[in-house]
Chains A and B, each alone.
Chain A
Amino acid sequence: MVGPIYIIAIALGLAFFLGFFGKSLKDVSAFLMLAGLAFMTFISGQWLLAFFNGSVTTQEIFTAGFRPPYSINLRMGYEEAVMTTMINVIGFLGGVYMFKRLKEVGNSAMSVFIVLIMSLNVIVMTRDLFNLFVFVEIGSIATAGMIILEKNSKSLQAGLKYLMATGVISGLLLIGIIFAYYFAGSLNIDGIITAHVGVTKAGAVAVFLIIAVLVLELKPFPANGWGLDVYQSAKPGFGAIVSAATATAGLYVLYKVLPMGGETWYPYIVLIGLITFVGSNLVGTRQKDANRLLGYSSIGQIGLVMTVIGLQPILGSKFSFIAFALLLNHYLAKAGLFWLSGIIKKEKISDWYVLRKNKALLILFVIFIFALIGFPPFPSFFGKYELIMSLVSTENIWIAVLILLGSFAEGIYMFKWLGDVLKDEDQTEESLNISWNKFIPIVIVGVSLLAAGFYSTPYVEGAHYFYFIPLGFIVFMGLIDFLPAYVKNTLSIAGMTYYSYIIYPLVEGDLMRTIFFVIFMIGGILTLIVGYNKKGKREGFYPVALMMYAGLATILTSDSMFGFFFGWELMTAGSYFLIIRGKRSKPHAYSYMLFSVAGAYLILLGFAFAYTSAGTQDLIALKDIAVYTTLAYTLLAVGFMTKTASLGLHIWLPGAHGEAESDVSPMVSAILLKAGVFGLMLLFLYMGQQTGETLLFVLGWVGAFTALVGNLAAVFQEDAKRLLAYSSIGQLGYILFAIAMMTQLGWLAGFTYVINHFLFKAILFIVVGGIVVRTGTHNLYQMGGLLKKMPFSFVAVLIGIITLAGIPPLSGFAGKWLFYNAVVLKGWYIQGVIVFFAGSIAFMYAFKLIHSIFLGQLKDNHRNIKELSPAILIPAYILIGGIIYFSAYPQNVLEPIGNMLSAYFPATVDWSGDGLATTVLSYWNGNAVLIIIVTTFILVLAYLKLITGKTTKLEQFNIAYSAERPFRPETTHVSYNMFAGLNKAIGFLIAPGITRFWKNISDMVLDLAGFIRRLYSGNGQVYAVHIIIYIVIFYFISLG
């Protein structure tokens, strides 16, 4: 084993040695630099490996051969091995990345770089305070030097500000150190810890100065303007080093010296970390410059790790995993993003769309963003999950809430950025110039992130490697993305079928899960069939679609809160990418994501409370929660309602579903929304009995109003797909209302609605989506008369809207029948009336839909239109088969459900007759109704056919007034503003008040961010003043 001391010897020897080399030998010296960095990595890596195997114990390195405190000692333990390896790896990769630039500037630049990395190693290893000071200074000077690798005035200014700030800071550090020596008689950190200098006032001040300075080195918000300038103006290649390596060392030092002050200091570190995490991310929301934004994000993430360090006494045995997961995640993701920035070479984040020129880099970018926000399967997901669980279960609820707030703020700008990258108008032809030395480090950190996520699994209760199986398949699909669409479609269907087969045993015994299994998996396969309609390669579609289904499958099969949440986030990520594929989807996908992230955090909090009360991660534990019942229930309910788009939380849905691709709309509408319903049902079923009636009552009202507003908005839509989207909101309102009644009948109605909505919304979106593509317009008034051109589509839509409107004989009526029985039995009359009214409105848009598309006059440009392709019609007709079966034999489905429900609710429906359902109020026979109605219908049709000869056939004609075309031709179309009267009467109900509400909130946040960031005046001296003020305030809070 090579001793860690050789890290210093090699680096310094090499740095001095490079001085011998003239300009002609730059290649040799650059090679030597890389070799040196590689050797340093090797040294720390072999120690890490040895510690990992347990073959060595912590080593103390005594310099000069004397014991501490008489001489300086370094320590190489497991933690130090991890940290130095991290630093050296990023140093080596950074060296590779900046290879050309360093060579250009010359040997001295290489020396400075290698010395910087070495100094960070020593900072981690040293146990001597003054030695720490010396190497911190080395780090500062080297950093100030590396800033000006970017040769412009801005970087010079940043360099000076940085030197000023660190100058003030290190002066104060020196005062702290010398007085620590004065009181403890030692410069050794361990010696000072055992001396307990903090017991006297003056000793406490000395320790305070040291801790405050080390905190300031980590650039806490808001005394960090100088740090931000460094991030913004330095070469991105170097920004990665500052963000990843320097921060790692700084955090470790803080962790190392904190025990000097004793337990009392930890809460203050938590406070500082939280302020930094929330504040920095908040201000970041206003940032347009990519590197500065990364700076804000870096500081935020460092603040988060700082918080965790402060939480060490609270987190106990989980501390190491959480801190390391979050640190590693930041380290890899931020280095990757900075390096990407060096390739993109665009200042504005809105100009990053050039990233789309290179698929691999685009995917890496996405990985980094999702890792930073904490999505699965990245380490931060595991870390944050454990963190929130531990915080809530130790009653540190506000810390958990603030951490989630900060994460959300980070999401605001990260997803904005992601949206810009994925969708922004491509304005240039320029291609990306990528050299291998820049590309490979980014790939390495990206892959490491995935691997790190995978290896986080055993550290979290409830996590299984099983969850990674579909992810592996997704990666495979991503690798074969160059194949034509139909091949990938077939593979996807095969993969999904096989996976469904694997997981079926897991859901088999549970009827509710089985129903959702059918919706998610069978429905998923059916909607995938529609994909055969698409030509070309359809790049990027299959991995994300499968990601959504993988998430849904995980939700279904998991029996732990962790698994559920894992699946939930996976599904959210997949659906986000699906939605953003639509042409005009950017803003809608953005708001979908923000609502989803917020919802997910509520769910996480809810689970955390449940976990606190139940003491286990098992989902089933929700059933008997003693404390926090209402709180957990409410959080979970609201969280799930973001996905079901309940009133107030619905504003993302119309755009997201309406603008999505033609086969994505059915996926997200018919299937994805049911994930929220599944969550709600699970919640209500497990916890509904324990919580008070009031909450259910409120939820019932929310459901009723959601139904009303959704349906009403649908009526006034001119856009066919938006109409269907609003209709989904309304339908999900019914479902919420039905299950909130918490009676057997209500739940039966709810299940019926779930099944129906899945069936008919899938049909409608599949077919209408196909028609929208065929006609080339979303607008209903630009369609018409397609009946003869597309008869099969017409029948499909007809059956769809019959079910939707709840008209006999189809199963929609069954839902209604159960529903009204349930309402009457429950006694929720007023709400019932509202829902009833909403139901009648549904007739109106159903009529508008089918009338505008299929009836009336055929448009000139549609004369040669063809029927939809079989790839669309076959799945639609399979679903129609489902409707017919469910309409004819509802008891086959509903009776088992009723039986299952009777375990939870008193039975109110009797299934004794053959196909006859009886309640105390009335009875209903699905088969009979179907047979009677169909017979009648056929009779009427036959009669009409008989009298057809007597009708007059009219020729088509154009609309013209006095030989003029109307100014806006669409205004004369019957379906344009079809229900103007209704709009006049009750249209105010759907005035965009809720949209305005959310917009006001977001404006307020942005204004606040804009106000706070005025602190960063750009003046280096002001930043120095900030530092002093920060220290003074910190002093008064902690010791004053």
Chain B
Amino acid sequence: MISSLITSFVVGGLICVVGQILMDVFKLTPAHTLSTLVVSGSILDGFGLYEPLIDFAGAGATIPITSFGNSLTHGALAEAEKHGLIGVLTGMFEVTSSGISAAIIFGVIGAFIFQNSKTTY
């Protein structure tokens, strides 16, 4: 268990370091950085490399935004395997909805609960 925690720390941290390099060296905005990482996650899954990384690092690979691209691709590929080309379109959100739906729901709840009026910085 402890080794799982350490690998997720190291792998998750390293993915974030890649993001920091994109931001600092290539001068990308946060939105550009995240989009780049999502695209690379989906490409890695195309080569079948991201799932082994999840097996290895657990949350270290599922928590960074790269896993979002991975699971979109994974859903599309799983569906394509069953139903052919049309599955590429239909399977996309089969696996990943939890991140998006959680963000939408907690976004609305957060807007209800919290006020944007704090002055302590």
Co-complex (A, B)? no
Q: A-side interface residues toward B, CB under 8 Å?
A: none
Q: B-side interface residues toward A, CB under 8 Å?
A: none
